[in-house]
Amino acid sequence: MKHGFVRCRSFLFLVVNLIFLLTACDSSPPPATGSTAKQDAVKKVLIGSVAPMSGPQAHLGQDNSNGALLAIEDLNAQALVIGGQKIEFVLLTEDDQADPRTATIVAQKLVDEGAAGVVGHLNSGTSIPASKIYYDAGLPQVSPSATAVAYTAQGFSTAYRVMANDAQQGKVLGEFAVQKLKAISIAVIDDRSAYGQGLADEFEKVVKAAGGTLVAREFTTDKNTDFMAILTTIKGKNADLVFYAGMDAQAGPLMKQLRNLGSKAKFLGADGMQNTGFLKLAGADAEGAMASSPGMPYEVMPKGAAFRERFIARFGEIQGYAVFSYDAVNVLATAMQRADSVDPKIYAPKMRDTDLAGVSGQIRFDEKGDRLNSSVTLYEVKQGAWVALETMGGTGH
């Protein structure tokens, strides 16, 4: 037994050594961003893109990362010169697994690797804890999809977003439910993520202010697939509209189960489910579902249709946020150009006076870092596809 223990220990020692060796190889020096590069050499500027690249939101994460990649390819094709040096942007895609803890680790990694700016994160629940780390490092962060109000309300001068927040989205949704859909008894379900919870709270507030009645507030998680129990309760309270604040991996099965319970209640959601994943998961039951999404339909955006075509030709499929991550990279790049520096400390103050004609419209920020004049569009599933109903707000074009 003792012999075994000793052998076990030396084995462990070996394993630990091996791990050290591996991590040592892994942390080979990143491409230099400092001023050590020669004057005529091309200077590499790292742009981080963080989104869940694995798990149930991987398709959305891939979409965000693709949007950033396309922007970087376009920028590199222009052969920009900043601070007297040729610049080559390099995309560093990181996976935060939609998990707040992983998000902070990944954020620190980007800071350590010397990224000059960050596009991300995808979720509000990950963007918020990560924003503290970027703020401490003075690194500008532009989220293409974190809609929670709290993200820009923390007073961090480095946190920006390029689409509407949940206060705007919740207002549009709440008023739509009460005034247009004439819902009398409304049930709200959220997935307890920073995004779902924040959005559901905003929605609830607006519904109550508009004179609607809330009959149930139920909860689930962003990993669940069984909603029969809470939906049965909701059905028992005769809700005529069910609002779900969460992502498509839950919204799809949820709507299917609602119909399987024999409920004819209207189903309303937000940007988390306004994508093709929801259509696949809910199948025929998706018909009639309604959801909002920040921004406007590609056909209405000034350069939207062309962008969409180019994106699909390059990557095959487009989800909701790609255009915003494309614009987010450009927000960073133009701030660098205006400051004539890729050093975050020098160009970060220039972020606030961004005035960029992005694909999604004119981008300007308010004092918190929220986008001015942002718009929200309502969609409905008709014959198996999302069809735009109306766009609220936004004078960007």
Q: Which is nearer to another protein, 191 or 327 (CB)?
A: 191
Looking at 41, 229, 312, 387, which residue binds another protein (CB under 8 A)?
229
Q: Which is nearer to another protein, 236 or 288 (CB)?
A: 236
Does position 219 interact with another protein (CB under 8 A)? The reply is yes
What sign for the dihedral angle of Cα 247, 250, 253, 257?
negative
d(CA 289, CA 244): 11
Tokens 């309502």 — which residue?
378
Q: Which is nearer to another protein, 204 or 327 (CB)?
A: 204
Number of residues that bind another protein (CB under 8 A): 39
Q: 68 near 328, Cβ under 8 Å?
A: yes
Where is 381: in which H helix or E strand? strand 376-382
Report, in Å, the least distance between residue 319 CB and another protein: 11
Q: Which of residues 146-205 bind another protein (CB under 8 A)?
A: 192
Q: Which is nearer to another protein, 57 or 360 (CB)?
A: 57
d(CA 311, CA 321): 12
State phi, psi for 82 to the nearest 5 degrees: -125, 130
Q: Which of residues 235-274 bind another protein (CB under 8 A)?
A: 235-236, 249, 252-253, 256-257, 259-262
Q: What count of residues does the chain have?
A: 397
Pairing of strands 185-190, 213-219: parallel
Does position 138 interact with another protein (CB under 8 A)? The reply is no
Q: Which is nearer to another protein, 35 or 232 (CB)?
A: 232
Looking at 53, 115, 149, 163, which residue binds another protein (CB under 8 A)?
53
- The amino acid occupying position 168 is Q
Q: Is 214 left (phi over 0), alpha (psi -120 to 50) or beta?
A: beta
Q: 321 near 327, Cβ under 8 Å?
A: no
Report, in Å, the least distance between residue 54 CB and another protein: 4
d(CA 194, CA 125): 5
Q: Which stretch binds another protein (CB under 8 A): 115-123, 179-187, 206-214, 278-286?
A: 278-286
Q: 242 near 235, Cβ under 8 Å?
A: no
Q: Which is nearer to another protein, 137 or 216 (CB)?
A: 216
Report, in Å, the least distance between residue 33 CB and another protein: 30
Tokens 């309300």 — which residue?
153
Q: Which is nearer to another protein, 52 or 212 (CB)?
A: 52
Report, in Å, the least distance between residue 12 CB and another protein: 13
Q: How far, CA to CA in Å, does 171 sit from each of 7, 150, 161, 239?
A: 65, 16, 18, 20
Binding mask 82-111 for another protein (x = CB under 8 A): ------------------------------
The residues of the shown chain that bind another protein, judged by CB under 8 A, are 53-56, 58-59, 192, 216-221, 223, 225-226, 228-230, 232-233, 235-236, 249, 252-253, 256-257, 259-262, 277, 280-285
